[in-house]
Amino acid sequence: MMNNHERTWNELGLDVSLHNELLKSIDQTFQQTVGAQKDRPEAMKYFDDALHESHSGRVTEIIKARKKGKKFIGTFCIYVPEEIAMAADAIPVALCGGTQFSIPYGEKMFPRDICPLIKSTFGLALAKICPYGPIKDLGVGETTCDAKKKAWDVVNFYVMEVPQKKGKLDFDLWHQEVIEFKEKVEELTGRKVESSRLSETITILNEKRLALQRLNELRKNDPPPLSGLDALVVMQAALNDEPIRFTKQLYELNEELEERARKGVSPFTKGTKRIMISGCPSVMGNWKIHSLIERAGATVVIDETCTGTRYFENLVDNTAKDLTGQLRALAERYMKINCACFSPNNERLDAILKIVKDYNVVGVIHYILQYCHGYNVEAIRVSSMLKQAMIPNLKVETDYSTEDIGQLRTRIDAFLEQLD
């Protein structure tokens, strides 16, 4: 007998039995990492649940919204301006895969030596275990790395061009891409983006960013009132959840964390070594590196990644009163994301140094998803800058598998030992 969710997945054409295996596999990893932590904030329950509901409750919610005429947009990069999609009555959700489970399926179509995130993402679709695939009205890719850029051609997604320098014409190009994205979603939903509604969605996402900024401010405490792993869970939920509800729940978490900070409640003791993770994102299903670092006795106090600062820093200026000004403000805000796709990308180096100082970081771990050339090669410059600033740093290149965990643990242990 199928339960309600299984019936939904079945109706979507999923391989229900394989999908159950997937959920079991992800939950197992979750329990071994996130779930195995002690002294977690009470309010984390919502975010744990949000991850667990991401293939069930959240999907049902989107199916219902689609029945009422909304359109569902799958995205794969934080460069896609969600405000615009929402203002045109679409629901944008980041669909990046963070699970090893689906990678062998991705490798049936794509080369093995591209990054695990891409293989995991496409593997979910190809194995018919992604409930978002069948309800997706539009896939929006971008050009931030070679492998993704070329993958969009294969699956015929809409592509937003993120430029590669930060000059005036680059901004103009990006600005135009933002304008064309608005036209594309309007065409998809049949609804015009109105300035008043866009102002509302800008507010919604700015408030979400502010709440995430507040959460991360709290991590500046010594000891931090929550683990880096829990902060990551919140970020992963941020990429999937309905934003108004998410922000409301995050307020509650932040209140609890403030209370904990006042009382010095933390999974860590004062003086625990404070680590920054810098580089590639850790999307849902992937808790590997945070877990390894924190089990080794340090704490991850900030993520300079797309599941970290790059997602929530910089608000959209919401003072413009017309669409023209709003679209420009959106283009400006998103263009500030210091993705490794830019050459040069000095702003990222400056940002890293500032974060190190602000968060009292004693060591940086460059987190490189295997075959991610952008962050891997950029780590040369980042590392050289950190060395000059006397900040120890370690480059870790890994995928989603558990095979290298022993080796990683040894390297991370050795790195942490040398920190003051």
Which lies closer to a second copy via its Cβ, residue 247 or residue 305? 305
To the nearest whole angstrom, how small is the minimum distance from the Cβ of residue 26 to a second copy? 26
Listed in sequence order, the DSSP H helices in 13-145 are: 16-32, 44-52, 57-67, 82-87, 103-109, 116-126
To the nearest whole angstrom, how small is the minimum distance from the Cβ of residue 143 to a second copy? 4
Which lies closer to a second copy via its Cβ, residue 149 or residue 328? 149
E strands along 282-379, which residues? Answer: 299-304, 363-369
Which lies closer to a second copy via its Cβ, residue 102 or residue 201? 102
Which lies closer to a second copy via its Cβ, residue 258 or residue 332? 332
**Percent composition of the chain: helix, strand, coil (DSSP 3-state, to 5):** 55, 10, 35
To the nearest whole angstrom, how small is the minimum distance from the Cβ of residue 137 to a second copy? 20
To the nearest whole angstrom, how small is the minimum distance from the Cβ of residue 101 to a second copy? 22
Reading phi first (left if > 0) and then psi (alpha if -120 to 50, else beta), residue 190 is in left
Which lies closer to a second copy via its Cβ, residue 240 or residue 370? 370
| Tally: H helices and E strands in the chain | 18, 8
CB 384 within 8 A of CB 328: no
To the nearest whole angstrom, how small is the minimum distance from the Cβ of residue 371 to a second copy? 6
Q: How far is CA 294 from CA 194, 220, 241, in A?
A: 46, 16, 26
CB 161 within 8 A of CB 173: yes
CB 262 within 8 A of CB 335: no
> Residues 8-24, buried b or exposed e (16+ Cβ, 10 A)?
bbeebebebeebeebbe
Q: Which two tokens stand for residue 272?
A: 């625990």
Residue 113's CB: how many other CB atoms inside 10 A? 10
Which lies closer to a second copy via its Cβ, residue 303 or residue 397? 397
Backbone angles phi, psi at 302, to 5 degrees: -165, 145
To the nearest whole angstrom, how small is the minimum distance from the Cβ of residue 175 to a second copy? 9
Which lies closer to a second copy via its Cβ, residue 50 or residue 124? 124
Which lies closer to a second copy via its Cβ, residue 52 or residue 150? 150
38: exposed, middle or buried (C-beta count within 10 Å: 0-12, 13-18, 19+)?
Answer: exposed
To the nearest whole angstrom, how small is the minimum distance from the Cβ of residue 379 to a second copy? 8
CB 417 within 8 A of CB 303: no
CB 140 within 8 A of CB 75: yes
Which lies closer to a second copy via its Cβ, residue 147 or residue 218? 147
The identity of residue 50, as a single letter, is A
To the nearest whole angstrom, how small is the minimum distance from the Cβ of residue 331 to a second copy? 13
To the nearest whole angstrom, how small is the minimum distance from the Cβ of residue 337 to a second copy? 16
Give residues in contact with a second copy (CB under 8 A): 109-111, 113-114, 141, 143, 145-147, 149-154, 159, 161, 163-165, 169-170, 172-173, 176, 340-341, 343-345, 370-371, 373-374, 376-378, 380-381, 397
Which lies closer to a second copy via its Cβ, residue 114 or residue 330? 114
Which lies closer to a second copy via its Cβ, residue 359 or residue 400? 400
Q: Which two tokens stand for residue 330?
A: 């959106």
To the nearest whole angstrom, how small is the minimum distance from the Cβ of residue 335 to a second copy? 14
Distance CA 51, CA 248 (A): 16
The identity of residue 140, as a single letter, is V
Distance CA 128, CA 260 (A): 43
To the nearest whole angstrom, how small is the minimum distance from the Cβ of residue 27 to a second copy? 32
